[in-house]
Structure 1
Amino acid sequence: MGKFCHCNTLCVVCSVLGALAVATIVALWVVQLTFYVRPADPWDDHRLPPSLVPDSYHVTLWPRLHPDGHGMFIFTGTSRVRFNCSRDTNLILLHSDKLTLTSKDGHLVKLTAVSGSTPVIRKSWLHPTNQYLVVQLNGVLRAGEAYDLYTEFEGQLADDLEGFYRSMYNEDGVEKILATSQMHPTHARKTFPCFDEPAMKAVFHITLVHERGTVALSNGLETGQAFSYCPEVVDTVIDGSLVTRTTFEPTKRMSTYLLALVVSDYSNVRIWARKKAIDADQGELALNLTGSVLNFLETYYDIPYPLSKSDHIALPDFYFGAMENWGLVTYKEANLLYDVTISSNGDRETTASIIAHEMAHMWFGNLVTLKWWNEVWLNEGFATYVSYLGADYAEPTWDIKDLFVLNEVHRVFTIDALATSHPLSSEEESIQTPAQIAELFDAISYSKVGWNLKKYCSQHHWIDSKPKNQSTYLTSFAYGNTESSDLWEHLQQVNNNGISLPGKVNEIMNHWTLQMGFPVVTIDTRMGQLSQTHFLLDPESKPKSRSEFNYEWIVPIQWRKSSQEISLTWLSGRHALNNNMKTSGDEWLLANINITGYFRVNYDSENWDRLLNQLNTDHKVLPVINRAQLIDDAFNLARANIIPISLALNTTRYLHQETGYIPWKSALNNFDYLYLMFGKSDIYILLQRYLKKQVEPLFLHFKNITLDWVNVPEEHSDQYNQVNALWVACSTGVDGCQNLTRMWFRQWMEQPEISWIHPNLRATVYCSAIAEGGTEEWDFAWKMMKNSSVASESDKLRAALSCSRDTWLLNRYLNFTLDQDKIRKQDATSTIVSIARSVHGQMLAWDFVRRNWEYMFTQYGVGSFSFASLISGVTASFSTEEELSQLLQFKMDNAAAGFGSATTALEQALERTRANIRWVSGKEQEIRSWFLHETSSK
């Protein structure tokens, strides 16, 4: 607002404002007299007060693996937590959720001073709103003193996959129950009263009471194994029951979310799984990989693994891919177990990558932990990046690091280009509730920082060439907690050796962590001009908050001309000039070589033409990763209305010559968006016709090099692209493809005990055969899925069942997701999303979610991470005003129940739908004309 020019005017305004202020004060005073609002109590805050700091826990838990007289599965327990008082207080707050306090002497909570006098407990109660156990005292806890708080409690051993829960599986016709845990991020409080925040680290002394014949596991070794002179796995009688009591060695100082508990009758080689899975050697790959990756990481970090054991366990029911519990890592079965005769090349890579990710957490996340959940990337970003290094070490011939672009960068770009994205480091005050915490575990926290670490750290030798620079950071903060400023300060000290940077480390990195999004860098090769602007898929959308950096980034640009070596240029402002980037004649310029930077690139039209000409004449001159990136950049620039969609489509004209996996996968991912937008229009047929023409040479290429599909391609990425060739060829109607998959599937139906289909091709063959088949093929696949003893095989069949074009079958399948005997809770949302991805299942899945949202939301756990992917998946194809109206109505109808961890996903779905509506209406005719031209007879 500008200043006033005349004093008289200013005086009048001030008088009016003064009168208004007095009137306002009087009005507020009257309101306060009438409606007195009591100040918020400490237990109304979502965060623990800093007055008490835990030192250690002694926890005993007894899970019942059989229902009681009321049909309930329960666990009972006792806990004694020792905490230090940092400042005088008469209040104790611990987290406690869905626990019932019990007592044999009438005292639900017992407090004891380690030395000195013990204050008398005045009152204690459970505060479910913020999940607290509140203890008010008549006296005062004194700063500098230590105290013990003892509780006895009972909880439900539910099947909600959170806290201490039960999992069920069938082995040899016998239904078996195991007790396991998922404390991350805020579920330890469902297991025992605790200080359930990541900075509240403590030592855990765990004892598990369990049925004889079962085995108990936790983070530490069973004490009897760690100290043979003091066996602590003993049989005993408790409340008239003969049980086994297993005591574990104390943990290192760690956060509550890393605690792990399992009671089962599993077999093991320190890779734990169902007995039949171990007997079938499905744990052998994991056993070999964990040893190899652990050795690599110890050398890489230059810090020995700090624990006495490293157990890994495959669980039948588990929401997440895996969880890095210190010393006892838990996995979804399909991600840990591998069968050499049934599992695919992709399954093997998944197991290697996930093991490497979880093992990387043993240092980044467990040894050194974030202070608060607003900076999840401090845990997950490093683990994502290092997982590629560990997996590459374990499988050196696979070039796994090259897949980072497809798996991480392209994945996160789609979210970070929305106005409803979020910064890597959110404001601490904005992340308070469990639902807000859960929302942060997305591609931004996992993948964006991983690429930025690769971009900056490997480029400037902070990580790859000098791993000891990481070890000093880890040793400096070992068993403690950090925030991003600690990391930047440490890296700045490392960088004092003289690496040239356009500013201090924190100045560079804060641009990338404190503001959301990323830039599109535009290079005009005619003038040598560079510019950057915030890239948004919908240019009409408005970011929800304005960045202090005004959406500018300090961007490292690696580039080269067709006749020159690679150069590095830093773009630190909105615009810059670089005469070296001018081109002449037929010379082209390619920026972001091998995608070392987290940004998109646009060029002047002449340079685009020269790059496209290079693709069409000799595409191998351009690095394979950049061929993929040219396609992905162009399609997304077209979605943002920065370049014509015809230019983006032109980047795919050379594909009939391409045999590389990464460019083909990039193209197919972008064509998938066109399928979603135009699946019900005539453009769908034109797109099918065009892709058929482009993929046929690739199909024939793999048919030839595999000797008519008998052999397997040698290269890891070629095995992946063989799958692409078969999938696209069959789905677009290339001659001979559907007959091939139909024949393989029919042979399998006739002799189910024989593996007619190569493991690499099974997912594609199953889907193709079920899409072309009917009830007979569907029912056979369903039976084989239910009978499969290999989790990854079961997952392939479960996904393939969604490929049916029969709406009756798809509706029946959707209803199966509400029956845990048919579809496990962990698989329900991914099954629904798979159905929603097909043209035939899109609206069926959306109608199903609308009808059943409240039931699924309450029964499947409000804190479940899967609801965000559910909302994103079933709305991915939305591109009409009617669908937008339905989505808005859905938001209104379910406002009372809420959306929990899917709250942001819902807003992103609305944003994407509005953008899709505008984009489709503006681009439909151009796209139709382009495909008509490309598919017409020539």
Structure 2
Amino acid sequence: MGKGFYISKPLGLVLFGLGVGSVLTIFALSVVYAQEKRKNEVDAIDGSRMVTTEAPHSTSAPSNEPWDKYRLPDTLLPEYYNLTLWPRLVPDEQGMYVFTGTSGVAFKCVKKTNLIIIHSHQLNFTLTSEMHHAKLTGLGGTSAPAVLKTWLRTQTQFMVIQLKENLQVGKSYWLYMEFRGELSDDLGGFYRSQYTENGVQKVVATTQMQPTSARNAFPCFDEPSMKAVFHLTLLHPPGTVALANGMDLGTENIIIDNQEVLRTRFEPTEKMSTYLLAFVVSEFTKIRSPHEANVLIRIWGRREAIESGQGNYALNVTLPILKYLENYYNTTYPLSKSDQIALPDFAAGAMENWGLVTYRELSLFYDPKVSSNEDKEWVVTVISHELAHMWFGNLVTMRWWNDLWLNEGFASYVSYLAADYAEPTWNIKDLMVLQQVQRAFAVDALVSSHPLSSNEDEVVTPDQIDQLFDTITYSKGAAVLRMLSEFLTESVFAKGLHNYLHQYAYSNTVYTDLWEKLQEVVDADSSIQLPASINDIMNRWILQMGFPVVTIDTQTGSISQQYFRIHPEAEVNKPSAYNYEWLVPITWMKSGSNMGQHWLLAKTNLYEPMKTDTDWILANLNVTGYYRVNYDSQNWERLLTQLTSDHKVIPVLNRGQIIDDAFNLARAEIINITLALRTTKYLSKEMEYIPWESAIRNLQYFFLMFERTEVFGPLQTYLQRKVQPLFEHFKAITSNWTQKPPRHMDQYNQINAISMACKTGVKECLELTRMWYRQWMTNPDSNPIPPNLKATVYCNAIAAGGVEEWDFGWQMFKNTTIATEADKLIYGLSCSKEPWLLNRYLEYTIDPNMIRKQDVTYAIVYIAGNVIGQPLVWDFVRGNWERITKDFDDGSFFFGRLIQGITKKFSTEFELQQLQRFKEEIAASSFSFGTQAIEQAIEQTKANSKWISENKAQVMNWLTKQSA
């Protein structure tokens, strides 16, 4: 994310007996289940009852009973599980897909109790004894107390077993259960994915346990600190292959009631958390690493995709990435194999299951004939992210979800280092500024943001846990760890990581454990001089939300900091123990030569080297610090003069930073909006990707706010003049668009050149995109559009066309078997200017036969990005809210992406009232998630309205002067 697992002879016999016995038990369960109408009905068949019960005297009133709390009591610790599951890949007589199973868990009693509380959700159980769900026995000669009663508590997702006597402290017990569940298509727990191959529908049984869905697949102690070893057996149809975290120990044919079934057993896992468990039954095929490789690497997927070579790139980069990470951590990869599997239906981008990483197809597959450079980069960075987890997250795991940021932020940071090693010519580490730092700034500047780490008791329900999987956790986590690594140096940081992993292997930690191991390395290295302990420095970045803007006054040498809020009038109702004051590592350069470093340790101080009357000063070199920078007006003028005269003197990352900081400082009312606009005047000379991308992202806000106003025309005219030289530059270096730019960053900037040229009305661009698309329509079997440019060409050509162009795009979407191509067409189809076509497209999003559930959010948000589609989407989503959301297990994550995408253009009082009314409707409904997303949308809408009223006239006047 083994070395082996020792089992005493008596225990081995117990596990073997349970494994063999489970086959007959599961068959009996299947007979029972086939005759049930729905999963919650109760039937009595052959003396066996499937039951679901609720806790006695349960009410909605608060309770101090342990089963009414969302956290497990600290009385029991699991040691190992023996799990057998049998998924049915064909529907039963009622049209349901089901799975049945048996589970045994060995646990130790560590505190006196007469209760066994274990997670279970959406499972029904066979009564294993008279009116009881489970059978309890003692291990090692221990006698088990009798079961008094059992029940399920659906609100807290627990099975509760009350015993007649207390368990003995220090003794181990065995809890055995038989159960079944639905193999639904909700993309969570143990679920099904479907695809068509050679005209035949195929079904895959697969898993997504993170964060709290292992309990949907089998009863378990479903918390990250409840690590255990898992012994797994899967029963599956002939012609299928079974995969799991561990290597298979062999597959045998068995007969159950004249039905042939395959039984595959797997080697026991390492000691790990339940959310990392994974298993898949499919008809997939594979490619594998050479036999002489130390680690078995296999890429699995649909036969057509594997045989056409779509998995080759993933196979080629996985071993170098693993080798890099082994060297970086100075720790050997803990497992004997690394399976990676691409699933047709998968909610997230990928999941770091230890030894069996699951992916969306577009996150693992790459076809050089069809996929773009961005697709290729996505594959290598996602693989790097997931493999980074094999050590950081899997080998050593956070104790509770409140420290999820440490897992995900670290993997996000290290993914760029590993991807850079795998693709050294791409300069991919620079993209971290665009993809992580600036992305985090945008969310963390809102007062509805949250700290990276919170108290454990603030994150207890599944919905609260789900909401942590956000930009702050991933991108801000990556940004602050990158900053820490920079001021410590990468070698010191890596050494501390090694010590951390070595000490806490196969156990759980809190983030301060990492600070402690890093501090030990710092204390032993006299060359590292810090103004305070790592704990004191970093806790200010971890325990309070937001970040500072550092203001440098070159007239006085003063350096000051203040909490940066993009909407300064918004009220901050989250107090901070540090009073929103940070210890800030400031790196700087003076007029392109002299460089230095300084720690800002208070709200303000004087620093003589910052005082100058002639030189310009640039702070936060290469944007290694997590803060924005403002200057006195004289220094801003000197920087703008330098950009105009010779912009290359300023490092490319800082050219992007100057633009991004200026626009955001203007939105926060710290500098004038015209100063921000002036940072774009030099762009007609700029040919590098990062400054252009920073400018386009910030100007996108202007498009969002002014697209429906009279400012839009002058804005288009101004930007057309800026982008025309870039368009001509790429036309020249690609020999009139017939070749691909050689550099990775240039390939990205070519997309910007065409996209912005078409967006601002460059006639040659519009003709070029229509010509390419029309050629494709003439010969659908030969797409002439360069892979890197497909998304922007599809969008512009469909926007310029009508029903014929849209229908052709839809047919190509339905025909393609390549996930990256489908993704680009999903976007392109959203660009139509015909309302009726967009409405038809919206109707398709709630039909899983038209658009896969995993793609619904993207399609809706893409349509909302269309000025014509946005009001259609808002009406559609409110009118179909229940239907849209009911099948999604990751409710909070889904809701947040949807609301943010739909409401980003909101800026009027009417839209604000609609949004507030929608919040009230959601609050009054049965939905228990989404309040944070709606609050952020309300905050953003208020700010948008205020920004337009204060800046519209200024922007209009400035743009008019530029065209004079």
Alignment TM class, shorter chain as reference? over 0.9
Partner of 1:28: none
Tell me the CA shift for residue 302 of structure 1.
Answer: 1.1
Structure 2: gaps spanning 5 or more residues: 1-58, 288-297
Partner of 1:478: 505
Tell me the CA shift for residue 481 of structure 1.
Answer: 0.5
Pick from 904, 907, 910: which aligns with 1:879? Answer: 907
What per-residue deviation string (whole Å, max 9, x for no partner) do you get for residues 460-515 of structure 1? 12x44663332111010000011011111111111102211010110000000000
The amino acid of 1:605's aligned partner reads S
Partner of 1:97: 121
Cα distance change, pair 238–865 in 1 and its aligned pair in 2 (3 A): farther
User: Is 2:174 the partner of 1:148?
Assistant: yes
| SS of residue matched to 1:61 | strand
CA contact under 8 A between 1:406 and 1:666: conserved in structure 2?
yes
Partner of 1:568: 597
Determine the C-alpha separation between the residues in 1 that align with 2:809 and 2:891: 32
Matches within 5 A, 1:241-252: 241-252=259-270
Determine the C-alpha separation between the residues in 1 that align with 2:859 and 2:891: 19
Pick from 127, 131, 134: which aligns with 1:109? Answer: 134
Partner of 1:925: 953
CA contact under 8 A between 2:592 and 2:649: conserved in structure 1?
no
Pick from 278, 281, 284: which aligns with 1:266? Answer: 284
Determine the C-alpha separation between the residues in 2 that align with 1:900 and 1:862: 12
Partner of 1:825: 853
CA contact under 8 A between 1:179 and 1:264: conserved in structure 2?
yes
What per-residue deviation string (whole Å, max 9, x for no partner) do you get for residues 666-718 of structure 1? 00000111111111001111211111111000000000111100111111000
Structure 1: gaps spanning 5 or more residues: 1-34, 225-232
The amino acid of 1:708's aligned partner reads N
Determine the C-alpha separation between the residues in 1 that align with 2:323 and 2:963: 54
Determine the C-alpha separation between the residues in 2 that align with 1:596 and 1:763: 32
Tell me the CA shift for residue 94 of structure 1.
Answer: 0.5
User: Is 2:149 the partner of 1:120?
Assistant: no
Q: Number of residue pairs matched?
A: 892
| SS of residue matched to 1:272 | strand
Cα distance change, pair 919–208 in 1 and its aligned pair in 2 (3 A): same
| SS of residue matched to 1:123 | strand
Pick from 513, 524, 529: which aligns with 2:558? Answer: 529
Determine the C-alpha separation between the residues in 1 that align with 2:573 and 2:184: 39
Partner of 2:186: 160
Partner of 2:709: 681
Tell me the CA shift for residue 38 of structure 1.
Answer: 8.5
CA contact under 8 A between 1:868 and 1:901: conserved in structure 2?
no
User: Is 2:613 the partner of 1:584?
Assistant: yes
CA contact under 8 A between 2:486 and 2:624: conserved in structure 1?
no
Determine the C-alpha separation between the residues in 2 that align with 1:149 and 1:834: 49
The amino acid of 2:85's aligned partner reads L
Cα distance change, pair 239–86 in 1 and its aligned pair in 2 (3 A): farther
Tell me the CA shift for residue 933 of structure 1.
Answer: 1.1
Determine the C-alpha separation between the residues in 2 that align with 1:901 and 1:222: 39
Cα distance change, pair 903–622 in 1 and its aligned pair in 2 (3 A): same
Tell me the CA shift for residue 861 of structure 1.
Answer: 3.0
CA contact under 8 A between 2:466 and 2:890: conserved in structure 1?
no
TM-score w.r.t. structure 2 length?
Answer: 0.91
User: Is 2:80 the partner of 1:62?
Assistant: no
The amino acid of 2:487's aligned partner reads Q
Partner of 2:8: none
Pick from 117, 127, 130: which aligns with 2:156? Answer: 130
CA contact under 8 A between 2:592 and 2:650: conserved in structure 1?
no
Partner of 1:178: 204
| SS of residue matched to 1:530 | strand
CA contact under 8 A between 2:492 and 2:522: conserved in structure 1?
no
| SS of residue matched to 2:711 | helix
User: Is 2:215 the partner of 1:215?
Assistant: no
User: Is 2:527 the partner of 1:511?
Assistant: no
Determine the C-alpha separation between the residues in 1 that align with 2:673 and 2:145: 73
Tell me the CA shift for residue 897 of structure 1.
Answer: 2.9
Tell me the CA shift for residue 102 of structure 1.
Answer: 1.2
Partner of 1:17: none
User: Is 2:856 the partner of 1:809?
Assistant: no
Determine the C-alpha separation between the residues in 2 that align with 1:155 and 1:239: 22
Matches within 5 A, 1:412-561: 412-461=440-489, 463-464=490-491, 467-496=494-523, 497-498=525-526, 499-561=528-590
Determine the C-alpha separation between the residues in 2 that align with 1:626 and 1:449: 21
Determine the C-alpha separation between the residues in 2 that align with 1:457 and 1:874: 37
What per-residue deviation string (whole Å, max 9, x for no partner) do you get for residues 775-798 of structure 1? 000000100011111110111011
Tell me the CA shift for residue 103 of structure 1.
Answer: 3.8
Partner of 1:321: 349
Tell me the CA shift for residue 528 of structure 1.
Answer: 0.3
CA contact under 8 A between 1:420 and 1:544: conserved in structure 2?
no
| SS of residue matched to 2:478 | helix
Tell me the CA shift for residue 743 of structure 1.
Answer: 0.8
User: Is 2:262 the partner of 1:234?
Assistant: no
Determine the C-alpha separation between the residues in 1 that align with 2:147 and 2:591: 78
CA contact under 8 A between 1:392 and 1:398: conserved in structure 2?
yes
Partner of 2:98: 74
Partner of 1:370: 398
Give RMSD over aligned pairs.
Answer: 1.4
Determine the C-alpha separation between the residues in 2 that align with 1:367 and 1:708: 52
Tell me the CA shift for residue 200 of structure 1.
Answer: 0.4
Q: Which runs of at least 4 in structure 1 moved beyond 4 Å after TM superposition? A: 35-39, 104-107, 898-901
CA contact under 8 A between 1:854 and 1:897: conserved in structure 2?
no
Partner of 2:213: 187
Tell me the CA shift for residue 143 of structure 1.
Answer: 0.8
The amino acid of 1:196's aligned partner reads D
Tell me the CA shift for residue 901 of structure 1.
Answer: 4.6
The amino acid of 2:133's aligned partner reads L
Pick from 282, 307, 328: which aligns with 2:310? Answer: 282
| SS of residue matched to 2:723 | helix
Determine the C-alpha separation between the residues in 2 that align with 1:633 and 1:864: 31
Tell me the CA shift for residue 855 of structure 1.
Answer: 2.1
| SS of residue matched to 1:688 | helix
Cα distance change, pair 319–901 in 1 and its aligned pair in 2 (3 A): farther
Matches within 5 A, 1:597-612: 597-612=625-640
Cα distance change, pair 578–276 in 1 and its aligned pair in 2 (3 A): same
**Bigger shift: residues 893-902 or 146-155:** 893-902
Tell me the CA shift for residue 935 of structure 1.
Answer: 2.2
Determine the C-alpha separation between the residues in 1 that align with 2:380 and 2:633: 43
**Bigger shift: residues 389-398 or 917-926:** 917-926
Tell me the CA shift for residue 239 of structure 1.
Answer: 4.3
User: Is 2:944 the partner of 1:916?
Assistant: yes
Tell me the CA shift for residue 325 of structure 1.
Answer: 0.2
CA contact under 8 A between 1:458 and 1:464: conserved in structure 2?
no
What per-residue deviation string (whole Å, max 9, x for no partner) do you get for residues 610-651 of structure 1? 101111111111011001011110110111111110000010
The amino acid of 1:556's aligned partner reads P
Partner of 1:24: none
Tell me the CA shift for residue 732 of structure 1.
Answer: 1.3
Tell me the CA shift for residue 903 of structure 1.
Answer: 2.4
CA contact under 8 A between 1:99 and 1:154: conserved in structure 2?
yes
| SS of residue matched to 2:93 | coil
Determine the C-alpha separation between the residues in 1 that align with 2:538 and 2:797: 50
The amino acid of 1:520's aligned partner reads V
Determine the C-alpha separation between the residues in 1 that align with 2:229 and 2:258: 32
Cα distance change, pair 199–838 in 1 and its aligned pair in 2 (3 A): same
Determine the C-alpha separation between the residues in 1 that align with 2:100 and 2:342: 25
Determine the C-alpha separation between the residues in 1 that align with 2:957 and 2:259: 77
Matches within 5 A, 1:623-662: 623-662=651-690
CA contact under 8 A between 1:655 and 1:694: conserved in structure 2?
yes
Partner of 2:725: 697
CA contact under 8 A between 2:496 and 2:521: conserved in structure 1?
yes
